[in-house]
Structure 1
Amino acid sequence: MKTLRTGLVAATASLALVLTGCGGGGGGERKTEDGLKVVTVAYTPIYSVGALKLGMDQGFFEKQGLRIELKQVANPPSGIAAVAGDEVDFNYTPSIPFVNAIANGVQLEIVGAADGYDEGTKAAVEADPSLALQHDDSGVVAAADSGITRAKDLEGKTVSVPARGAQLEVTIAAAVKADGGDPAKINWITLDFPSAVSSLKSGRVDAAGLVVPFLSQAEDGGGKLVLSPGLEFFDDGAVGMWVTSASLAKQDPEIVKSFQAAVEQTNEYAEAHIAEAQQAAADVLKTDLATVQAGSEPAFPATVDPADVQSVIERMKELGYLKKDIDATSLVFGS
């Protein structure tokens, strides 16, 4: 099942820490009073952070000698910048922003899976497209009077995405190309999700690339869902990932190994206790449980197969979003 990777605004209770070094990820070792090593994890307001919170509540990280300190960032690129600069120890990122960062020379390593699709999901949706909404938390909503009914119709239209060259643009472009259209003829504009919803309603854009819960907000405003691009682009397996800097992986591999082991145990538990993961997401994001449950059902792969990332790399190259060869195997910590 597809995970819920986007949500509302989050807040996290502060932790009482005894600092034995400088503050921030990579700034010196920090420990709690009971001797746990403190690691800072950056996240965007995403539903899949619920699995991480669930693992924290279950004690999986403490069993590995870690105390997690959560830090919200505006978007995956902000988190990538923070982890690359050793301001935080780990960060959530979807695979496409990660690949873009690697292509631009940012030194990162994949530590674990954060979300994705269960085995067999893609085949099930190909056999029955009506199942897409149960598994894909991303979509394109078109204005009712736009004349857009399929991916190809986006050609020549104004379409909003939250960032250029990132997850939604790439997956939408792939769907348009597969449907016989030319994504180069789309007038892409950058808008955050709330602005995109209002711009769709006002007629500023013809269509908007959105994620839950903004998909339902756009539909409530008169738009119509015409495309679920994530499932068309990604294979079964990990899509969102927890990453760290290459410098931390080299300087303190034991912390990275501990985090990796705790994430794997966390995801195995969350996959078997979806309702608990959804409740944890609602708690972290300070939103009601019904909002979380209204989106697609979450999935939490235990590990990242380098092939999951390699398939993204090859598709980005085919679409012209990536100009160089990248070996995904070398990017997964411990591979």
Structure 2
Amino acid sequence: MRRLAATAAAIAVLLTAACGSSDDSSGAGSGGVDRVKVGAIPIVDVAPLHLGNAKGFFREQDIEIEVVNTTGGSIAVTGVVSRQFDFAFGNVVSLITARSQGIPVKAITVGNASTGKPGADFGGVVVPPDSPITDAAGLAGKNIAINNLNNITDTTTRASVRKAGGDPSNIRWTELPFPEMPAAVMAKRVDAAMLVEPFFTIAQNQGARVVAYNFAEAIPDMTVAAYFSTEQTITQRADLTGRFRAAMEKSLKYAQEHPDEARQVLQTYTQIDPAVAAKITLPAWPAEINRASVQTLADLMHGDGLLKEKVDVAELLP
């Protein structure tokens, strides 16, 4: 929790500096095209962002995007508040955490969602092939790798362990970037890892076994992430935000309806092998945020002690 407090304090300083500025420049370039930076993890979840860019959906809205790689939601929040990014992709638990700390981030549109199908989802918890762990309950007391502490990966893993009859209170968490997790699991540097695609399939191809589909098991049809910015950006640059939302919503719809193209675009921003890309499970890219699922996540966070008080997520959501 000390690390989380330090992060919050740093963001508070950035937020104060940002709010002291009245600059509402849209970053417009020649021809009236707005150049914007979007923070996003280079994982399957953000395929619609890259696909929509390739299809020209952002250009249709007079927007030119530059995607800047991040490692997780807390980094995305910091980048948006410091104006390193105009918009970003982040898991909803990180956004709830930021909002509870007085950081006025706000979702613009859905990012992605679980398929809701245990056994056929785009993420889960894996263990080495010879691990004695056989189900989610067996993860109690183990060392589990996640990409960022206090985000959707550990929150939903706790929920999955709890539903299986285990006690998640003594799980030890190790922060690792997703690309490093398969090797860490196979070398037994950690007992397990919570992975998303394409690294979920990569780990299984190396022999790792799935013991929990935590996204699908935690909450039905769960919204995993959203594209977001600060309230200040959304208000001061309302026209740009509206055009970004329109382009992003068209991109999400297109990716959902054209899964083969969503797989192909992975070659442009990840190093995933084409053979792996053909096998991975894609997330759902729905039209809207499942508001009830976000509230349930906030309630789980409160129960786990990540939030001091219960949170109404209405102010966070569009």
| TM-score scaled by length of structure 1 | 0.80
Question: Which residue in the other structure is 2:7 paired with?
Answer: none
The answer to whether the aligner puts 1:88 opposite 2:85 as a matched pair is yes
The answer to whether the aligner puts 1:30 opposite 2:27 as a matched pair is yes
Q: Deviations over 1:236-269 (max 9, x none)?
A: 2532210011110121111111111221222122
**Contact 2:124-2:210 within 8 A present in 1 as well:** yes
Greater CA drift, 65-74 or 106-115: 65-74
CA distance in 2, matches of 1:85, 1:176: 36
**Contact 2:125-2:195 within 8 A present in 1 as well:** yes
Query: Aligned runs of 1:187-226 on 2, under 5 Å?
Result: 187-226=172-211
Once the two structures are TM-superposed, the CA of residue 305 in structure 1 deviates from its matched residue by 4.1
Question: Which residue in the other structure is 2:135 paired with?
Answer: 150
**Contact 1:170-1:321 within 8 A present in 2 as well:** no
**Contact 2:222-2:294 within 8 A present in 1 as well:** no
The answer to whether the aligner puts 1:186 opposite 2:171 as a matched pair is yes
Question: Matched residue of 1:249: which SS?
Answer: helix
Amino acid at match of 1:55: G
The answer to whether the aligner puts 1:65 opposite 2:66 as a matched pair is no
| Unmatched segments (≥5 aa) in structure 2 | 1-22
Once the two structures are TM-superposed, the CA of residue 315 in structure 1 deviates from its matched residue by 2.3
| TM-score scaled by length of structure 2 | 0.84
- Regions of 4+ moved over 6 Å: none
Amino acid at match of 2:210: L
Once the two structures are TM-superposed, the CA of residue 194 in structure 1 deviates from its matched residue by 4.3
Q: How has the CA–CA distance of structure 1 residues 58 and 220 changed in structure 2, closer, same or farther, with 3 Å as cutoff?
A: closer
The answer to whether the aligner puts 1:56 opposite 2:53 as a matched pair is yes
Once the two structures are TM-superposed, the CA of residue 70 in structure 1 deviates from its matched residue by 1.7
Q: How has the CA–CA distance of structure 1 residues 204 and 73 changed in structure 2, closer, same or farther, with 3 Å as cutoff?
A: closer
**Contact 2:44-2:198 within 8 A present in 1 as well:** no
Once the two structures are TM-superposed, the CA of residue 176 in structure 1 deviates from its matched residue by 1.0
**C-alpha root-mean-square deviation of aligned residues, in Å?**
2.2
- 2:276 pairs with one of 264, 277, 291: 291
Question: Which residue in the other structure is 2:104 paired with?
Answer: 107
Question: Which residue in the other structure is 1:275 paired with?
Answer: 260
Greater CA drift, 313-322 or 150-159: 313-322
Question: Which residue in the other structure is 2:306 paired with?
Answer: 321
Q: Deviations over 1:111-152 (max 9, x none)?
A: 0112114xxx53xx3xxxxxx343x22221123343111111
CA distance in 2, matches of 1:87, 1:179: 41
Question: Matched residue of 1:285: which SS?
Answer: coil
Q: Deviations over 1:53-90 (max 9, x none)?
A: 22223332223232222222233221210101122110
* Residue correspondences, number: 296
CA distance in 2, matches of 1:84, 1:184: 32
Question: Matched residue of 1:91: which SS?
Answer: strand
| Unmatched segments (≥5 aa) in structure 1 | 1-25, 126-131
CA distance in 2, matches of 1:269, 1:237: 20
- 1:253 pairs with one of 220, 226, 238: 238
Identity %: 29
**Contact 1:27-1:87 within 8 A present in 2 as well:** no
